[in-house]
Amino acid sequence: MKIVYYIFFSFLLILLLFATTTFINFRLSGTVNANTEYLSTSTEIIRYSGRFQRNILNMVSGLRGYLLTGERSFIDAYDASNTENDTILAELGSMVADTLQYKLLMEIKELNDKWTEEYTEPLRKAKMLASVSDSNLQVFNRFYRERFLTGDERAILANLQQKFKAFSNLEYNVRQEKKTRLTELVDKTRRLSFWLTGLSLILALAIVVFLVRKISRRIAVMTQMANDIAAGNYDVNIKDPGNDELSSLGYSLNHMADQLFQNISLLKRSNEELDQFAHIVSHDMKSPLRGISNVVSWIEEDHKEELSQKVEQYLHIIKERIARAESLIEGILSYARIDKEEVEKETTDLNRLVYEILENLPVGSNVKVEVSPLPIIYSEKFLIFQVFSNLIGNAIKYNDKEMGLVKISCEEHLTEYEFFVEDNGIGIAPVYHKKIFVIFQTLADKDIFSGTGVGLAIVKKILDSKKQHIRLSSVPGKGSVFSFTWPKY
Ligand code: ADP
C-alpha cells in the first residue's frame, strides 16, 4: 500500500476517534442543559407549592378573623390569597410534566374548590347577612355548627395539606432521580472520553512509530546511496521490495545511478581519448615545426649574404609563428597533463613560492608588486605554483598603466584559504568573465600582449580538480581581482 494511504487512513481513524469523543461530550452538554432547565422549573414548582400552602393558612386565619370580628380587612386578606391560589394552580398545571403529579394537582384543585365553594364561601356570605336580621343570624349559627364544628372542613384542609406534601415529595423524588441519572451519565462520559482520548493518543503514537520505522530506514539507505554517488561510486543499487512511493524513488535512484555510471564511463573514455589525441597530435606536430625552424635557421646561416632584407624579415616572421605554435602545443600538453599525474604533497611556504614566481617573471621597474604575508600549507606545490604563476603573470602582463601595481593577499576561512591577485591593469568586460577560463580564449590584442589562452584554463582545471572555485571582479580600464580558494588541510 502507498505511504500516502497509510497516512491518510491513520489520520482518518484518529479523527474519527476524536469526533466520537466530541460527539459524546456534546450530547452530555445537551443533557446537562436540559437538566439545568428542569432544575429551575422544579425550584419554581416547589416555590409555588409552598406559597399555595401559606395562602391556605392565610385564608383560614382571614376567615376566622372575619367570623369573630366582622372586620372587612380580614376578608380582604382571604380574597387576595384565594385569587393567588387560583393563579398558582393554573401555573402549576402548565409546569408539571409527571402524570402522577398532574393527577395529584387535579385532586388538590378539586379539594380546594370543594373547600371554598362548600364551606368558606357560604359561611362568609352567611356572616355578611347575619347582621341584617335575627333569622339570618340563626342561619349563620346553624351553618357554622353544621359545617365547621363537625370537623368536616378541617378534614378537607388536612387532606389538602397531605396531598400537597405528596405533590412536593414527588417533585423531590423526580429531582433526585434526575440528579442520580445525570451524575451517572457524567461519570460514564468522562470515562469514555478518557479511554477514547487515550486510545487516540496511543494509536497516533503507534502510527508515528510505524511510519518512522517504515520510512526512515529506507531513507537512510537512499541517503547512503546518494552519498556514495557523490563520492564517485556509481556502482550502487538499492533493493527495496515494497510497492510504495519510496520504492519508486529507489527505482529512480537505481536508474539514475545506472545512467550516471554509463555517462561517466563514456565521459572518462572520451576524455582519455582526447588526452591521447592531444598528446599524439602535439608530439607529431612538434617535429615538423622543429624541422621548419631548422630549415629557416640553415637558410639564415648558409645563405646570409644572398638574402634580401625583405626575405630576412619574412624568415623572422616564420620563426615567430613557429615559436607561437610551439607554445600553443606546450599549452595543450600542460593542460592535458593536469590531474593525470599524481602530484606529491609537501609543506610549502607560499611567501617563498610567490617570490620564486616573481623571480622568473619579467617584472620591470614600472611594476610594483605588494605581497601580504601568506600561509605555509601542506599541499601539491606544483599545482598551486601553476595557479599563482598564471594569475600573477597575467596581472603583470595585462597592464597598460605607467606604474603597474599587483597586490597578492590571503584571507583565512574555516576550512580554506582565499587568495587574491589584484592588478590595476586593462581590466576585463563582464561579458568575458566566464569565457576567459575556456582554453584558447584570448581577448587582448596579440600584437601588444602575447598569449595563448591556456593559462586560465589550466588554473580552472586545477581548481576544479580540487573542488575549489575562482572568482573574478573587474572594471575595464581600472583593473581586475582574481580570487580563488584552496583547502587548508
Ligand atoms: P593568455 O594570457 O595566455 O592569453 P589566459 O588564459 O591566461 O591566456 O588568459 C585569457 C585571456 O584573459 C587573456 O588573453 C586576457 O585577454 C585575459 N586576461 C587574463 N588575465 C587578465 C588580467 N589580469 N587583466 C586583464 N585581462 C586578463
Q: What is the CATH number of the domain that holds 63?
A: 1.20.120.1730
**CATH code of the domain covering residue 433:** 3.30.565.10
480 lines ligand 1 (CB under 6 A): yes
Question: Whose CA is closest to atom 16 on ligand 1?
Answer: 443
Chosen domain end from 152, 184, 202: 202
What count of Cα atoms within 13 Å lies in the side-chain half-sphere of residue 437? Answer: 16
Residue where a domain stops, chosen among 155, 171, 202: 202
452 C-beta closer than 6 A to ligand 1: yes
**Cβ(405) to ligand 1 under 6 A?**
no
Residue 370 CA to ligand 1 center (angstroms) comes to: 20
Number of structural domains found in the chain: 2
Cα-to-centroid distance, 474 and ligand 1 (Å): 12
Protein residue with least CA distance to atom 18, ligand 1: 394
**In-domain check, residue 85:** yes
Whether residue 234 is contained in a domain is answered as no
Q: pLDDT 10s digit of each residue in the chain, 489 long? A: 777 888 888 889 888 988 998 898 898 889 888 888 888 898 999 999 899 999 999 999 999 899 889 888 999 999 999 999 999 999 999 988 888 889 999 999 999 999 999 899 988 889 888 878 888 888 888 888 887 788 888 899 899 889 988 998 988 898 898 889 989 989 998 998 899 889 888 988 988 898 888 788 888 888 988 898 888 888 888 887 777 888 888 899 889 888 988 998 899 888 888 878 877 887 888 888 999 999 999 999 998 888 889 999 999 999 988 988 888 888 888 888 787 778 889 999 999 999 999 998 888 889 999 999 999 999 999 999 999 999 999 999 999 999 999 999 999 999 999 999 999 999 999 999 999 999 888 886 666 667 788 899 999 999 999 999 999 999 999 999 999 999 997
**The model scores a pTM over 0.85:** no
Instruction: Please return the burial class of 432, using the count of CB atoms within 10 Å of its CB with bins 0-12, 13-18 and 19+.
Output: middle
Which atom belonging to ligand 1 lies closest to the Cα atom of 456? 6
- For residue 444, the model assigns a pLDDT of 67
Question: What is the greatest pairwise CA distance in the chain?
Answer: 192
Cβ atoms < 10 Å from Cβ of 412: 9
Residue 94 lies in a domain: yes
Atom of ligand 1 nearest to the CA of 443: 16
Is 458 contained in some domain?
yes
> Is there a domain that residue 15 lies in?
yes
Q: How far is CA 469 from CA 88, 317, 341, 343, in A?
A: 100, 40, 21, 20
**In the block, which residue shows the cell 607554445?**
327
Mutate to test the pocket of ligand 1, among 329, 392, 394, 428 (most ligand atoms within 8 A of CB): 394
Q: How far is the CA of 139 from the centre of ligand 1 (A)?
A: 147
42 vs 435: CA distance, rounded Å? 96
Ligand 1: nearest atom to the Cα of 426: 25
Does residue 442's CB lie within 6 angstroms of at least one atom of ligand 1?
Answer: yes
Instruction: Judge contact between 350 and 375, C-beta under 8 A.
Output: yes
451 lines ligand 1 (CB under 6 A): yes
What is the pLDDT, as a whole number, of residue 449?
66
Q: Is 13 exposed, middle or buried (0-12, 13-18, 19+ CB in 10 A)?
A: middle
**Residue 381 belongs to a domain:** yes
Is 335 part of a structural domain of the chain?
no
Q: Which of 187, 202, 217 is the endpoint of a domain? A: 202
Cα separation of 214 and 218, whole Å? 7
- Full domain range(s) for residue 483: 342-487
pLDDT of residue 51: 93
